[in-house]
Amino acid sequence: MTTPRRVVITGIGAVTPIGIGREALWDGLHAKRSAVRTITRFDPSPFRTHVAAQVDDFVPGDHMEAKRVKRLDRFGHFVVAASSLAIADAALELAVEERSRVGASMGTALGGLGYAELQHGQYQAAGLRAVDPMLALAVFGGAASCNIAIEFGLTGPNTTNAMSCASGSMAIGDAARQIRAGYADVMLAGGAEAPLSPLCFGAFALIRAMSTRNDAPATASRPFDVDRDGFVMAEGATVLVLEERERAVARGAPILAEILGYGTTNDGHHMTAPHADGREAARAMRLAIEDAHLVPGEIEYVNAHASSTPLNDTAETAAIRTALGPHADAVPVSGTKGYHGHALGATGAWEAAICAMAISRRWVPPTLNLVTPDSRCDLDHVPADGRAMAVEVAISNSFGFGGINACLVFRRHD
């Protein structure tokens, strides 16, 4: 049997509310400040929730030509910008690459739906002639990976999934499998989301999924805290450069971590509520650990999905206990959505990047805003301050509406 090829992360391109670029994202974590604010993108007063995490300092023209800026919507801007940043971070010279061996794998829950909403308003106000002719090319989710391919001339494997809040993690896991199996040498993989428009935002407000801590936005997202009351929506994108290890070493690429395993399951239970015992989330973790040829006792850190919803955080705690067994009590488990909110399909990619950096930088970020732990969330959730520690192996969890569960396993590169 052919030995599967090894996959490493050589670049990170981040467009997030706490920082644009890999170093800015890392600095944002160390600053221990939440990016959640009262929404300014539109009037949130009709809704129960008035807060979100916006990327306010993003300038598309800093990352692409003016022609591309004009032809793309905000979702497309995030995708291309994050990809450009990732390529630069990896010192990847596409001019000398075999483009058929370079692909793109992206995830998004809503794609260009926010832009479609805006254009529908234009249509109602002034008719079809007022609608952007590029609308049909912007609104479908697959525009994410296709725009990457077009921007950089990539002809390798290309796919975009729409698996709700697990999309970004699944895109990375699927991309790693493409490289391991020999179908590609390099993959740009991650997630993007631009959901801050009235209808997209309002849809989640209608089902009472989001926090209503409108008088204290910075503490609205509080994973594992007894007073958590829902997630906080965010926007942005993160793209990772994944490479076959031997070629990355040969070209002297900066290697941040190795991707060892990937597992995914479905609860088959409910569209919004997880199994209370987290049984299928636990199985996704176990599958990822088995795929990595490890055992639960070798996991040293968990970057949790930690959405700050009453049901998810307790179910995830139960799932981690099931997956790791007695070893769970010795493992730090932190969630970073208190910093940057929850950008649906993009967040798993943000958190994969954070997990990889936690390994390479030997520092685990804290769970921001965790003041009074829920008694049912009884693991070491790293409250208040980050923790300096040499993590060799870590996992990152992402769970989404529809019962989707995904887990990635990372290891320090030897």
Question: Is residue 270 annotated as a catalytic residue, yes or no?
Answer: no
The pTM of the full predicted model, rounded to 2 decimals, is 0.97
Q: Given this model, what pLDDT does residue 141 score? A: 81
φ, ψ of residue 203 to 5 degrees: the values are -60, -40
Domain borders along the chain are: 7-250, 261-411
CATH class of 261-411: alpha beta
Q: Given this model, what pLDDT does residue 65 score? A: 95
Q: Output the six-digit token pair for 182.
A: 């020999």
* CATH superfamily of the domain spanning 7-250: Thiolase/Chalcone synthase (3.40.47.10)
Per-residue pLDDT of the chain (414 residues; tens, 9 = 90+): 567 899 999 999 999 999 999 999 999 999 999 999 999 999 999 999 999 999 999 999 999 999 999 999 999 999 999 999 999 999 999 999 999 999 999 999 999 999 999 999 999 999 999 999 989 888 888 999 999 999 999 999 999 999 999 999 999 999 999 999 999 999 999 999 999 999 999 999 999 999 999 999 999 999 999 999 999 999 999 999 999 999 999 999 999 999 999 999 999 999 989 999 999 999 999 999 999 999 999 999 999 999 999 999 999 999 999 999 999 999 999 999 999 999 999 999 999 999 999 999 999 999 999 999 999 999 999 998 999 999 999 999 999 999 999 999 999 997
Catalytic residue among 63, 77, 146, 165: 165
Catalytic residue among 50, 63, 77, 305: 305
Distance in angstroms (rounded) separating the CA atoms of residues 169 and 263: 10
CA 339 to chain centre: 13
Q: Given this model, what pLDDT does residue 1 score? A: 52
Start-to-end CA distance of the chain, whole Å, equals 24
Question: Is residue 342 annotated as a catalytic residue, yes or no?
Answer: yes
* Cβ atoms within 10 Å of 27's Cβ, excluding its own: 12
Helix (H) or strand (E) holding 397: strand 393-400
Question: Is residue 293 annotated as a catalytic residue, yes or no?
Answer: no
Q: Given this model, what pLDDT does residue 151 score? A: 97
Domains 7-250 and 261-411 equal at CATH topology level: yes
Catalytic residue among 340, 342, 381, 413: 342
